[in-house]
Amino acid sequence: MNFENILTESENGIFIITINRPKQLNALTKSTIKEVGAAVKIANGDENIRGIIITGSGEKAFIAGADIKEFANFSVEQGKELSAHGHDVFNSVENSHKPVIAAVNGFALGGGCELAMACHIRIASDNAKFGQPEVSLGVIPGYGGTQRMAQLIGKSKAFELLMTGDMIDANEAERLGLANHVVEQANLMEFTKKLLTKIIKKSPYAIGKVISCINDSYSNDKNGFDTEINEFGNCFGSADFKEGTSAFLEKRKAIFTGK
Ligand code: DAK
């Protein structure tokens, strides 16, 4: 598939999605969001891919928000329609059964911060800045930011960040639990790939179930504890469980298939 606004590449089981609009600081247009959704779907459908990294092009920005030029003249209906579509795409990132890591290489503002928060893990470069400046523009976060920010850093700090529109630096993001790690920009991709490589060597079946269980604990219509009981049981019927336990007993490295 040909993309206009993103680059994709795969190496050693990792699919890298790079938002590629550096002149606009990788601001998200409608079609960019659509392409991200399509790329995540491709990665999830490819059995050679075991994990996904989302990053931004250049050294300045991960994503500096939704494209303000594009949404400046939206009507109420267009706003709702686009928000619903964005939610579908960002939910597909969060619910991807393959692990998704955001390599945040600079500004992660508005929709950019929201996309990073939809990922399972965030690694920030030391120049990264996070924020939800929507209230400065007269809107609120429209891609899950009001929900995921509170889930990640707690209600009190989420209120402050979303009501002031302030940016925070990478170290503060790490302190608040928004970023998992902060690394020098030059090492960002190497560190992120190393972490993801460690994860994808584990059972893909079990990793997918960890994702469902944690996500279900934040869902209104599901109970994460029930999901855990159910999926824990299901693990015993998986080829990965047989392989993992056999490999341990035979003192060798497991070769997981994800089945
Ligand atoms: N949209 C469009 N262009 C952007 C942009 C953005 N969000 N952010 C930066 N750019 C463009 C700038 O216009 C400039 O373009 P030229 O003037 O060169 O043509 C270029 O990128 C470089 O930016 P600056 O010259 O401003 O660079 P600085 O280093 O001086 O400043 C900055 C960097 C990140 C602090 C600054 O660019 C900035 O404040 N950017 C805007 C940040 C922001 O407010 N982002 C939007 C957050 S609100 C929706 C759902 C969700 C949303 C909206 C609608 N619907 C469902 C409808 C979400 C909204 C948001 O994300």
The model's pLDDT over 198-250, given as tens digits with 9 standing for 90+, comes to 999 999 999 999 999 999 999 989 999 999 999 999 999 999 999 999 999 99
By DSSP bridging, strand 167-169 and strand 129-131 are antiparallel
95-107 average pLDDT score: 98
Ligand 1 atom nearest to CA at 79: 57
Q: Is 27 in the pocket of ligand 1 (CB under 6 A)?
A: yes
Closest to 210 in 3D by CA, of 185, 175, 240, 180: 240
Q: Is 110 in the pocket of ligand 1 (CB under 6 A)?
A: yes
The Cα–Cα gap between 115 and 28 comes to 10
59-83 average pLDDT score: 93
Whose Cα sits closest to atom 27 in ligand 1? 25
The structure tokens listed for 236 are 């015993």
Distance, CA 68 to ligand 1 centroid (Å)? 6
CB-based contact 244:256 (threshold 8 Å): yes
Distance, CA 224 to ligand 1 centroid (Å)? 37
pLDDT, tens only, 16-36: 999 999 999 999 999 999 999
- Residues marked active site are found at 114, 134
Q: Is 69 in the pocket of ligand 1 (CB under 6 A)?
A: yes
Distance, CA 8 to ligand 1 centroid (Å)? 23
Give yes or no for residue 126 having a pLDDT over 80: yes
DSSP state of 120: S
pLDDT at 108: 98
Give yes or no for residue 82 having a pLDDT over 90: no
The Cα–Cα gap between 38 and 45 comes to 11
pLDDT at 114: 98
- Output phi, psi for 174, to 5 deg: -70, -40
Q: Is 89 in the pocket of ligand 1 (CB under 6 A)?
A: no
Whose Cα sits closest to atom 36 in ligand 1? 64
- At residue 45 the predicted structure's pLDDT band, cuts being 50, 70 and 90, is very high
User: pTM of the prediction?
Assistant: 0.97
